[in-house]
Structure 1
Amino acid sequence: MTCIIIDDEPLAVDLLESHASKIEDLKVIGAFNNPLEALKILREKSVDLLFLDIQMPEITGVEFKKIINPDIKVIFTTAYSDYALESYDLDVVDYLLKPISFQRFLQAVEKVQNRNPKPITEEESDYCFVKTEYRHQKLFFSDILYLKGLSDYVSIQTKEGKVLTLQKMKEFEQSLPKSKFIRVHKSYIIALEHIEFIERNRIIIEGEYISIGATYKDTFWKKVENK
């Protein structure tokens, strides 16, 4: 994924470049203190992501966002929280408040990578890759027992242990094979083949008791009874 950094503060540019260098599949192809100088490269090269400061003298980040290709994903970077609401109206991926930690930077990049996840079907593959820390972890669907959604990340319980990722439950729900996995609770997606038994509206997998949420109950029982 290619990106450009625009910020009128040289130290802020240096920090963002340093953060980006730690992410293997993120490539900085330009860094500018003057947003108008960045227009040329935006017209000539394919750019996936733009880290864009809001408060700049020549043109604000909000104004700049309105004139560039809408297909370019934008993450606002700023020392002020005043523009947060307007940024969401502009369909900005994320809004980072300075000083920006690497963890927060990484979360924002993950949002871009996962905004349009490609659905994975059984016909295409029997495995998927999950972004965890600085690598993509290969997981076979048959090894996944269940997924548990936590506050800022998802815990994937496999036969070998847990894998943590910043991807969202909704993204997994859309991409995992529907014949093998089903969401049974706002915090759980389970693998049907690993269900040991169902008791009192609870599913038991490897000693884990998973409640069936009211919203998902009908869909789950239809799935189970039709198998």
Structure 2
Amino acid sequence: MKIRCLVVDDERLALEVMEAYIEKIPFLHLEKLCSTPMQALDFLSRNTVDLLFLDIEMPGLSGLQFLQTLKNPPAVILTTAYPQFAVDAFELNAADYLLKPIPFQRFVVAVQKIQSQLAEKNAAIQTNENLSKTREAHIFIKSGARTVRIDLAEILFIESKKDHVLVQSKHQKVTTQLSLSGLLEKLPSEQFIRVHRSFVVAIPKIESIERNRILMEKAEIPIGEFYREALQKRILGL
């Protein structure tokens, strides 16, 4: 995951240093350099970033004052030549505090901390989304003029055909104009996996895997070469 960065500093040299540092880190992406807080406010009104490098001492509006104006600030690393601002920085929940001149090694430590925090946050969000989907024991899909309820525990597999998608459950077959990928987004990822360009299967319904096919109740599902490795990692732990 690329971490989108915004740098705000009224010193040109400081901006150049931060730009050079960011370019050296593969997981960082520089969105914009701003020389005033007002430029940053304008940019943030139209764009979203993951990480803000913010100088504290700036004319007109200090970095700390600017930070207080943000309703939903991204992760923030404060930069300054004055160590006395450290307490204020952490009271505003800054993730880190870098003293100028900033050594590159110290910069790396700070952004690695941010990378870890954002990864944990994203993982938690994904887990909550998956749990939410799991708690939803059924989905509704449009099938012709009807809207059909399908219990997730009943689904065996989903097959993409020429002009429709077929949902095969234990007790019914339902066709829909939804795409296979669109339907997959409605399903909890821990229960369903795509195994072929045209097939999604319910993991709990897999009875056995033999070479290039999955065997399940009343069905044999082909395994696409592109999906084989992901299936092995998921099912077999290889």
Query: What is the TM-score normalised by the length of structure 2?
Result: 0.49
2:120 pairs with 1:97 = no
Residue in structure 1 matched with residue 78 of structure 2 by the alignment: 76
Q: 1:115 to 1:83 in 2, by over 3 A?
A: same
Q: Secondary structure at the match of 1:82?
A: helix
- Residue 66 of structure 2: SS of its match in structure 1? helix
For residue 34 of structure 1, report the CA deviation from its aligned partner.
1.2
Query: Pairwise CA RMSD of aligned residues?
Result: 1.9
SS in 2 for 1:83: helix
Distance 1:36 1:94, change over 3 A: same
Which residue number in structure 2 is paired with residue 15 of structure 1? Answer: 17
Aligned pairs, number: 122
| Paired residue type of 1:80 | Y
Q: CA deviation at 1:97?
A: 0.0
* Bigger-Rg structure (1/2): 2
Q: Whose RCO is larger (CA < 8 A, sep 6+)?
A: 1
Relative to structure 1, the CA distance from residue 39 to residue 19 in structure 2 (aligned partners, 3 Å threshold; closer, same or farther) is: same
Task: Provide, for residues 156-208 of structure 1, a one-character-per-residue CA deviation record: whole Å limited to 9, x for no partner.
Answer: xxxxxxxxxxxxxxxxxxxxxxxxxxxxxxxxxxxxxxxxxxxxxxxxxxxxx
Q: Where do 5+ consecutive residues of structure 2 fail to align?
A: 128-238
Question: Greater helix share, 1 or 2?
Answer: 2
Select the residue among 57, 60, 78 that pairs with 1:58. 60
Where do 1:1-227 residues align within 5 Å? 1-116=3-118, 117=120, 118=123
Per-residue CA shift, 1:48-89, capped at 9, x if unaligned?
111000000020010011111434111000000011011111
Runs of 4+ in structure 1 displaced over 6 angstroms?
none
Asked if the contact 2:67/2:73 (under 8 Å) is kept, the reply is: no
Q: Distance in 2 between matches of 1:29 and 1:79?
A: 24
Quote the Cα distance in structure 2 between the aligned partners of 1:76 and 1:39: 16
SS in 2 for 1:44: coil
Aligned to 1:219: none
Structure 2 letter corresponding to 1:10: R
Whole-angstrom distance in 1 between the partners of 2:117 and 2:74: 13
SS class of match (1:108): helix
Structure 1 gaps of 5+ residues are: 122-227
- TM, length-normalised to structure 1: 0.51
